[in-house]
Homo-oligomer: A and B are copies of this chain.
């Protein structure tokens, strides 16, 4: 049987589990080794090592009242819980708890789509609702609204939003936390709070106006451990009349500077509505020795790089994005975009796909770049692994946020390329996604394995990337559970004042320390000494 967490007697642990069983029924308490193993993180960088994070049991409530009862029981015994929604937070810790021995509160049965308003373009869902679930609901009922899916589509809206994940469609939807409107939260006391207009019991605007009145608390429930969110509203995108996917290429390395400046400006003006990828086609799919040398050098010149690209007859940078809307507006926006980018010598414009909505099932199936049209899939699964990297069992994401400046993208590639090379590894391709309109997020898939020796190297690589990039002003926006204390250290202004504020909030809201101890480096008082 899995072990209870440190400091909880076996007697209390067994008593708590009996109480949980009483709350959810025998079928929904999981305590056998086989069942509990399912909550392991398949991508864990600590796989099989003593430090690997493992649960002691799992409990799956079916209602808000059951969540309340579970929290109150845990509080009585001081037993740590670890709530998950669909449990698919792969590359960031999956469904495994941050603190070993926690009981996973699996919210998969809270999977009701409580409301969808086509008129208001909103929904209200429980944490177990996946992108697939909501997409199916909209499509089955012919509701002309789009979702903004994470990759892959088996993730859940609530969990992804709370971890501040992102997507690919319109400006107002890609930042999944920003796209939420209204929450219901079970606090560690067991009390239920509704935020925003949800605190007015008559309001029809819970999913329309975020703030309500008084301090807006929603943000403290993201990337944290202050409560269990049981309902969340989201803004959805109205299906447009049409969409046009385009690509723009520029020939030289330094062309990324005017390219990104113009794209940023066009995104801020809503001329380009979708997420915009800026990647270097010459970086992909090659174990070319010269490429490896250039990338590992930590500062090869533009001339060297341009020579490399020219010899292969490929443009240095490629950007892809999508217009959504009325056909005549799209045509004007695309024309204006070409005007703005036309000054870059050698720029090339290409229309890669054009759509009129709604799509038939066959058309949906045939869309290559599904996420940009709000279609969830598993297509992107694993696609970020470089094809010439050695086989790995999984990966964890290293995603620094940089200013939307071409110089920054170049500098980041130099810095990370050298870090990989110094460790004898092939650098991950550098691509900037202009994710939120005002920052570029730069994904790197750091491979994880099922053996300790390889994982040790991975952890060294990951930690070096985190520290070096933070020193350059490029800290990351989200981090695997095993590295969350390290991640928060990179936000250390005034000797960690922000982190101390987080722990002040923790002590006030969760004095018994029952919800997700250690998540994003926030420990309850009783564990703080041993963990800090």
Q: Which of B119, B214, B216, B402 contacts A205 (CB 8 A)?
A: B402
- Closest CB in chain B relative to A172 CB, distance in Å: 7
Does A504 contact B493, Cβ atoms closer than 8 Å? Answer: no
Q: Which of B193, B221, B509 contacts A498 (CB 8 A)?
A: B193
| In the complex, per-residue mask of A267-281: 1 if CB is within 8 Å of any chain B CB, else 0 | 011110100000000
Q: Which of B333, B403, B498 contacts A329 (CB 8 A)?
A: B333
Which of A97-105, A378-386, A465-473 forms contacts with chain B? A465-473
With A213-B478, A213-B520: A205-B401 Cβ-Cβ less than 8 Å: yes
With A172-B268, A404-B208: A477-B213 Cβ-Cβ less than 8 Å: yes
With A204-B473, A220-B216, A491-B199: A209-B439 Cβ-Cβ less than 8 Å: yes
Does B205 contact A215, Cβ atoms closer than 8 Å? Answer: no
Does B505 contact A505, Cβ atoms closer than 8 Å? Answer: yes
Q: Does A160 contact B (CB under 8 A)?
A: no
**Which interface class (under 10, 10 to 19, 20 to 34, 35 or more) fits A?**
35 or more
Does B217 contact A219, Cβ atoms closer than 8 Å? Answer: yes
Q: Which of B217, B401, B436 contacts A220 (CB 8 A)?
A: B217
Q: Does A226 contact B (CB under 8 A)?
A: yes
Chain B residues with Cβ under 8 A from A325's Cβ? 269, 271, 336
Q: Does A459 contact B (CB under 8 A)?
A: no
Q: Which of B213, B214, B471, B479 contacts A213 (CB 8 A)?
A: B479
Q: Does A414 contact B (CB under 8 A)?
A: no
Q: Which of B210, B328, B502, B509 contacts A504 (CB 8 A)?
A: B509
Does B219 contact A223, Cβ atoms closer than 8 Å? Answer: no
Q: Does A5 contact B (CB under 8 A)?
A: no
Does A520 contact B215, Cβ atoms closer than 8 Å? Answer: yes
Does B508 contact A507, Cβ atoms closer than 8 Å? Answer: yes
Q: Does A31 contact B (CB under 8 A)?
A: no
A residues 398-430 touching B (CB-CB < 8 Å):
401-405, 408
Bound complex: CA A493 to CA B508 (Å): 21
Does B509 contact A214, Cβ atoms closer than 8 Å? Answer: no
Chain B residues with Cβ under 8 A from A295's Cβ? none
Q: Does A349 contact B (CB under 8 A)?
A: no
- Closest CB in chain B relative to A355 CB, distance in Å: 16
- A-B pairs, top 9 by smallest CB distance, nearest first, are A508-B508, A216-B219, A199-B491, A202-B473, A215-B224, A332-B332, A270-B270, A209-B439, A214-B520
Q: List 27 A-B contacts (CB under 8 A).
A: A192-B494, A192-B497, A193-B501, A194-B494, A199-B491, A199-B493, A201-B493, A204-B403, A204-B408, A205-B439, A209-B438, A209-B439, A211-B222, A213-B477, A213-B478, A213-B479, A214-B224, A214-B520, A215-B221, A217-B501, A218-B219, A269-B325, A270-B273, A328-B332, A329-B336, A332-B333, A505-B505
Supply 15 further A-B pairs (C-beta < 8 A) apart from A211-B219, A328-B332: A177-B216, A187-B501, A193-B494, A197-B475, A204-B408, A205-B401, A208-B439, A213-B223, A214-B491, A215-B520, A217-B498, A217-B501, A238-B265, A269-B325, A504-B509
